[in-house]
Amino acid sequence: MVFSSLTFMYVYLPIVLGIYFLVPKVLRNSVMFIAGLLFYAWGEPVYLWIMVLSTLIDYTAGLFMHKYDHSPTARKICLLASVIMNLGLLSIFKYSGFFVSSINTLIGTSFPVPEIALPIGISFYTFQSMSYTIDLYMRNIPVQKNPITFATYVTLFPQIVAGPIVRYSDVQNEIDHRTISLDLVGEGVAIFTKGLAKKVLLANNIGALWATIKAQEISSLPAATAWLGILAFTFQIYFDFSGYSDMAVGLGKMLGFNFPDNFDFPYISKSISEFWRRWHITLGSWFKSYVYIPLGGNRKGLGRTVFNLFVTWMLTGFWHGASWNFVLWGLYFGVIIILERLFLGAWLKKIPAALQVAYSFILVVFGWVLFEFDKLSNVWSFFKAMFGANALGFANADTLYYLLSYILVFAICIFFSSDISQKLALKIKARFPKVWEYGTPVVCIVVLLICTAYLVDATYNPFLYFRF
């Protein structure tokens, strides 16, 4: 992973950008398409054909939907073919083992459980490609007849493996006609550098603590150590995933695309409903547009609204992984959001804002326990450790060592996961515009050098959302 990170930053990316800026505009989509294929093949050569097949399915479905535009039946068949084939591929490669093992457990059979390696980013590019045919069926977008242009959209290498999920409507104008300026490239470099720093300097460092604590027997963890561990994971997954999203958005701007933002300081949310408006924004928007609203949304009475929320959040959890802990994780948030819709939201507004944030943050932390442990027995054991059921006391010498070793990292993570950092940056930019203008490139260079030093020496450099 270290080699891949360095090679991508200092070899692959400069070559792609150099070729992209040098070729005529008419060839830039072809460069992007080839770059996307090579980038994916670099990390997952065996399963490149799945992404290509998904692209062909939706491109062909779109053409036939356009050809038979005046036939509602034909258009519906095209849509169903796209959805069934895409979800079929996703089910085979991501969920087949889960389905078979669940059947074996439920009815006592012994069917062989398929052991299929999960293709990187299959959930992301499948949803991205499939959204095109759904939007086309709903007449929200025009058909794309150029196969290279459509393939460019599906294989956009900045965000192909871990989001944000970009709908065709997000880039339909830029996919054919995009403008690249020095200011836009500079803005993209700054956003990319911010994302890289989140990932390398914050996620990796705080994640090392969680890796150390998670490797221990859960029954040997005192309460404070368990809390330190899951708090470390709480910040790791945020800075890891939002860092990757920022890098994707920054690269997109360098190439002339304006990808949607995927995070908006979710840990300062005052409710779980607000948290999910700030966390993985593009996924929440996808499920709202293509599941919740088609089911009826909140237009068919309270009972139906509760049912629609339940289904949507069960599927949101299941999207993240083929394991019961992900299903329960989705339902956990779904139940809380339903309660907030029924009465809890009104009650929250009556208490101080700080308590609202604390309520949301603590529930999110509990949710990450469900998310991180695929065995439900481990989930229960870790919850017991958090509340002192291991009878090992509140803390031990290791707890103090971890706290002293990581207290500065925790403080930095808290600062940058709040919007204080953004507000401070905006004040500096407004008050000292020249300092901001000339200081930003210097800061970017310094941060890139520091990140490079960390990558060269790193032994712990996972991308958590690549597994989805």
Is residue 368 within 8 A of residue 237, CB to CB? The reply is yes
Angle at which helices 433-457 and 182-197 cross, to 10°: 50
- Planar angle of CA 212, 332, 84, nearest 5 degrees: 100
User: Within 298-432, where are the H helices?
Assistant: 302-320, 324-339, 345-348, 353-372, 376-386, 397-417, 420-431
Token code pair at residue 48: 């490149």
Contacts (Cβ under 8 Å, ≥6 apart) of 15? none
Please report, as a single letter, which amino acid is at residue 318: F
Examine the residue annotation and report whether 320 is marked as an active-site residue of this protein: yes
Distance CA 354, CA 299 (A): 33
Token code pair at residue 440: 């930003």
Q: Tell me if the bond preceding 462 is cis, omega within 30° of 0.
A: no
- Return the residue matching tokens 């708090």: 231
Token code pair at residue 342: 């029924």
Distance CA 87, CA 243 (A): 28
Angle at which helices 433-457 and 420-431 cross, to 10°: 140
Instruction: Name the active-site residue from 66, 70, 280, 320.
Output: 320
DSSP code at position 218: G
Nearest CA-CA partner of 213 in 71, 432, 41, 403: 403
SS3 402: helix
Token code pair at residue 443: 């800061």
Q: Is 377 exposed, middle or buried (0-12, 13-18, 19+ CB in 10 A)?
A: exposed
Token code pair at residue 388: 């002192």
φ/ψ of 364, rounded to 5, equals -65, -40
Residues in the chain: 468
Please report, as a single letter, which amino acid is at residue 461: N
Distance CA 326, CA 393 (A): 31
Is residue 121 within 8 A of residue 161, CB to CB? The reply is yes
Token code pair at residue 269: 């949310």
**Percent helix, strand and coil across the chain, each rounded to 5?**
75, 0, 25
Active site residues: 320
